[in-house]
């Protein structure tokens, strides 16, 4: 996924990335239209319609194309309030060149009432993954020092086979990105699940997980690391 505009891509030497991403968005849009047409029998939509497109394009792209469509058709009362509210959670940077709005090029043109059912299915399939989101994190993300905190990785950075909550939890150890005011953005740490070392940027994380929502398996793993001193909320200290 390349979530930035063509103008941003040009200025950063990423135009080919943008073009390929745009081709994939357009192909996903067409796949949704095709599946909706095939699976709708005049009364109901086949129960695995969304699965067919997710299997081909992945959760993130399907959600991206659907949210883009609902944002631009938010005036249509045939979409449910729940789905429209869900779509508002996605940020789409302006992506225009002259009179052309590139977002309109992957607007799904299926019947809104039937498409609403497709969105229901896609959202239900995503919710089954039980991924961590902003509601599971402390609210002081922008001002918090991430050093020795358990962070929640944005699931869009994980391939579909790794879209599991255990792969979202990362122990931040060092890096300029741990400090909220530093110019550097890199955060170095380890996946809590298997202790594999990793590096991300500060904005790749949703935030610091709330202490009370840390899973039991994670708490047990941290206990084995024997903290040296009393912890601050969300912070783990290790003996050297």
Condensed to tens digits (0 to 9), the pLDDT of residues 71-96 reads 999 999 999 999 999 999 999 999 99
- Per-residue pLDDT for 232 more than 70? no
**Integer angstrom CA distances of residue 238 from 22, 188, 194:** 45, 16, 17
The two tokens of residue 63 are 């959600």
Residues 6+ apart with CB under 8 A from 125: 50, 51, 54, 59
Q: Kindly report the pTM of this predicted structure.
A: 0.85
The two tokens of residue 152 are 């929640």
The two tokens of residue 105 are 């090029």
Cross-strand partners of 100: 97
Of all residues in the chain, the percent with pLDDT exceeding 90 is 81
The secondary structure of 141-204, three-state, reads: CCCCCCCCEEEEECHHHCCHHHCCHHHCEEEEEECHHHCCCCCCCEEEEEECCCCCEEEEEHHH
Q: What is the pLDDT of residues 4-17, one digit of tens each?
A: 999 999 999 999 99
- Per-residue pLDDT for 61 more than 90? yes
Q: Binning pLDDT at 50, 70 and 90, where does residue 225 land?
A: low
- Per-residue pLDDT for 184 more than 80? no
Q: What is the pLDDT of residue 229?
A: 44
Mean pLDDT over each residue of the chain, to the nearest integer: 91
Q: What is the pLDDT of residues 91-143, one digit of tens each?
A: 999 999 889 999 999 999 999 999 999 999 999 999 999 999 999 999 887 88
227 or 144: whose pLDDT is higher? 144
- Whole-angstrom Cα distance, residue 143 to residue 56? 39
Q: At what angle do helices 112-127 and 49-72 cross, to 10 degrees?
A: 110
Alpha carbons within 13 A on the beta-carbon side of 148: 14
- Per-residue pLDDT for 51 more than 50? yes
Q: What is the pLDDT of residue 234?
A: 54
From the number of C-beta atoms within 10 Å of its C-beta (0-12, 13-18, 19+), residue 220 rates as exposed
Instruction: Answer yes or no: are the C-beta atoms of 176 and 183 closer than 8 Å.
Output: yes
Residues 6+ apart with CB under 8 A from 198: 170, 188, 189, 190, 191
- Per-residue pLDDT for 53 more than 80? yes
Total Cβ atoms within 10 A of residue 45: 21
Domain boundaries, the chain: 6-127, 134-223
Total Cβ atoms within 10 A of residue 193: 17
- Residues 132-156: what's their mean pLDDT? 91
Q: What is the pLDDT of residue 64?
A: 97
Q: Binning pLDDT at 50, 70 and 90, where does residue 181 land?
A: confident
66 or 141: whose pLDDT is higher? 66
- Per-residue pLDDT for 238 more than 70? no
């Amino acid at each position: 996924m390349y979530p930035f505009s063509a103008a941003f891509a040009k200025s950063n030497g990423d135009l080919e990335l943008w073009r390929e991403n745009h081709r994939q968005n357009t192909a996903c849009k067409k796949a949704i239209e095709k599946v909706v047409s095939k699976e709708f029998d005049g009364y109901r939509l086949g129960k695995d319609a969304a699965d067919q497109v997710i299997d081909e394009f992945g959760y993130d792209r399907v959600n991206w194309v659907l949210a883009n469509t609902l944002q631009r058709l938010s005036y249509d009362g045939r979409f449910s309030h729940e789905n429209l509210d869900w779509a508002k959670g996605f940020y789409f940077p302006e992506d225009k060149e002259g009179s052309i709005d590139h977002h309109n090029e992957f607007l799904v043109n299926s019947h809104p009432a039937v498409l609403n059912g497709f969105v229901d299915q896609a959202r239900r399939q995503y919710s089954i993954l039980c991924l961590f989101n902003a509601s599971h994190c402390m609210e002081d993300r922008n001002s918090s020092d991430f050093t020795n905190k358990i962070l929640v990785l944005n699931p869009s950075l994980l391939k579909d086979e790794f879209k599991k909550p255990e792969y979202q939890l990362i122990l931040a150890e060092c890096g300029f990105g741990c400090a909220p005011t530093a110019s550097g953005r890199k955060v170095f740490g380890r996946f809590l699940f298997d202790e594999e070392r990793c590096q991300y940027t500060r904005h790749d994380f949703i935030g610091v997980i709330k202490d009370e929502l840390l899973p039991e398996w994670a708490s047990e793993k941290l206990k084995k690391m024997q903290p040296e001193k009393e912890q601050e909320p969300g912070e783990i200290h290790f003996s050297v």
